[in-house]
Structure 1
Amino acid sequence: MENRTQSAEPMQLYLQEARKYEYLTPEKEREYATRWRNDGDRLALDRLVGSHLRLVFKLARGYQGYGLPIADLVAEGNVGLMQAAEKFDPEKGFRFATYASWWVRAAIQEYVLHNWSLVKIGTTAAQKKLFFSLRRLKARMEELDNGDLSPEAVAYIATELDVPETEVVEMNRRLTNDSSLNAPFGEEGDSEWQDQLTDDRASQESLVGDAEERRERLSFLKLGLEALDDRERAILVARRLADEPQTLEELSARFHVSRERVRQLEVRAFEKVQKAVLARSRAQQIAAADKGRDWGRGEMSRALISA
């Protein structure tokens, strides 16, 4: 018979783990929070966070209406729970659940906003308030169709949420006109819109080739710098390789020479590096050509033997 634990859904496993932790009394909660805050006690952190896993699940369920997997919502909520544990101050007298709820909701809401639609839904506080409250207010007013809201409904919602009426209209249109990438299309409905999306990123072959080319250039540069003396190397690095290049005046003061002498040393160092890089490149080309000739002779010998 299949092992029940292996066949259980992820959320069943999560809840099974959450039930292992007992609810904390205010005294125990304060003790664990203090031990974690003052001593970095990992066991105390585990007890404090573990006893609130069920809270995360309860809050995450409130956002299931946005069509996102409950497991993902819970995972994001757990991130918020850990952030709350990092910031919680037991000396202020609040229960951890009260404090953590704000962090959990914020983490889940941020996840919903970034994943519910391809278009970024909310950036301002007013837009976020609209996104998470508009459906509830529309249901209360029985404005459940997918068209534009009536002027009276727009005015009511704007007043209720203290946001501009134009943002109410815009958010309602964005929410009602959004379509799922998993929606079927075609004559037989056997394709999804997401199948038509193209990936404009470079191929793996191009990425590997570019990385190899960068490594080769760095090795050439390292070889070229080794051909310089300490002063030439320092000047070339300061003038051409630093994020914020130094001026001739600064290097003149550093090495106690004139600005013109610094410029001459820079030019000479650059020419030395160029020569070293060109010599290395030619050596590699000759080695590659010799290897090709050896390979060709070997292939010819094998062909003659086979004949």
Structure 2
Amino acid sequence: MQAQKATANVTGVPALQSAGILAYSAAIKRFDLLERGREQQLAQRWREWRDKSATDELITSHLRLAAKVARGYKGYGLPIADLIAEANLGLVIAASRFEPGRGARFSSYAMWWIKATVHEYILRSWSLVKIGTTAAQKKLFFRLRGEMRKLAGDTAVLTPELAHLIAEKLEVAANDVIEMDSRLHGDLSLNTRVGDGERSAEWEATLVDDAPGADEIVAEHDETTRRSAALRSALEILTERERRVFEARRLSEPPLTLEQLGCELSISSERVRQIDTAAFAKVKRATIQGARTGSDVLVA
């Protein structure tokens, strides 16, 4: 019952003020963290019986994780209560989709959904001008300022040389770096006049819609679906130990160290490294083959 009340209050977080946030933080500390076996049991009960009390317990035991992730995005100037609410939404989605038996901890799986929902909220709320429509733009939005500080300090101004350095590091185009830097300086009115004299016009009249067309969206969706299916199939070829090492080293955030996995599996760190390398090679080959097979099927 206590877990259900806490879950029900998740949607009320945005209304909390600073004092309320402190009270909320104290409240969620009452819920104990779960052992791996308990996580698996709860997830199985939800998938087989749609037992809501099971997801309630799974969610409330990880509310502290969601709040911690949300606080990491305070620098974007949005209400911390809203960030926590979005993080909790990601936690709820993760709990409803978590698949037991795959070897991953729920916290590792939930982390992806929590960050995804928070990122989407920030991108929706931060600017009136739509940003973050491509993977490169999203990467720049969340990392550009940090990379500028690393390379040139807090008072850095983006120069062409600095833009090229950041572009190389983040593997994006230099023009994308310059454009995002301009956008991050703040929104401008679409009615702002640009140009001089008779040639001046409102900024709105000079904008070009660079959004992808319907055919591009469908093609990208098909490609993503094909790759995801290929990866899932590739994981099936691994042995239980190979899969455990691969998911812990490649799919978990943060990844487990060689030493941690060695202790868990009662083998040496070097043996873990060998298994990781071999598993990665297997998955890579199978994924490529699966993607090619999928393409052939689609063409046929």
Q: TM-score scaled to structure 1, two decimals?
A: 0.54
Offset of residue 11 of structure 1: 1.3
Give the whole-Å Cα distance in 1 for the aligned partners of 2:17 and 2:136: 43
SS state of the match for residue 132, structure 2? Answer: coil
SS state of the match for residue 101, structure 2? Answer: helix
List aligned pairs for 1:125-204, cutoff 5 A: 125-145=135-155, 147=157, 149-178=158-187
CA contact (8 A) 1:146 1:176 kept: no
Q: Match for 2:98: what amino acid?
A: F
Give the whole-Å Cα distance in 1 for the aligned partners of 2:146 and 2:156: 14
Of 18, 21, 28, which aligns to 1:18? 28
Offset of residue 121 of structure 1: 1.8
Report percent identity of matched pairs: 47
Offset of residue 10 of structure 1: 2.3
Q: TM-score scaled to structure 2, two decimals?
A: 0.55
Of 60, 64, 83, which aligns to 1:73? 83
Task: Pick closer, same or farther for the CA change 1:78–1:16 going to 2, 3 Å.
Answer: same
SS state of the match for residue 9, structure 1? Answer: helix
Task: Pick closer, same or farther for the CA change 1:146–1:140 going to 2, 3 Å.
Answer: closer
Give the whole-Å Cα distance in 2 for the aligned partners of 1:76 and 1:128: 18
Task: Give the structure with higher Rg (CA).
Answer: 1
CA deviation digits over 1:9-50, x for unaligned, max 9?
221232233122101011111111111121111111111000
Query: Which segments of 5 or more consecutive residues in structure 1 lack a partner in the other structure?
Result: 1-5, 180-195, 197-307
Offset of residue 70 of structure 1: 0.4
Task: Pick closer, same or farther for the CA change 1:112–1:23 going to 2, 3 Å.
Answer: same
Aligned match of 2:235: none
Aligned match of 2:62: 52
CA deviation digits over 1:144-170, x for unaligned, max 9?
4474x1222111111111111100000
Q: Which has the higher contact order (CA 8 A, sep 6+)?
A: 2
Of 101, 110, 113, which aligns to 1:91? 101
Aligned residue pairs: how many? 174
Question: Superposition RMSD on alpha carbons, in Å?
Answer: 2.0
Aligned match of 1:106: 116
Offset of residue 54 of structure 1: 0.3
CA contact (8 A) 2:148 2:156 kept: no
Query: Which segments of 5 or more consecutive residues in structure 2 lack a partner in the other structure?
Result: 1-15, 190-300
Runs of 4+ with >4 A deviation: none
Give the whole-Å Cα distance in 2 for the aligned partners of 1:75 and 1:8: 14
Q: Match for 2:26: what amino acid?
A: Q
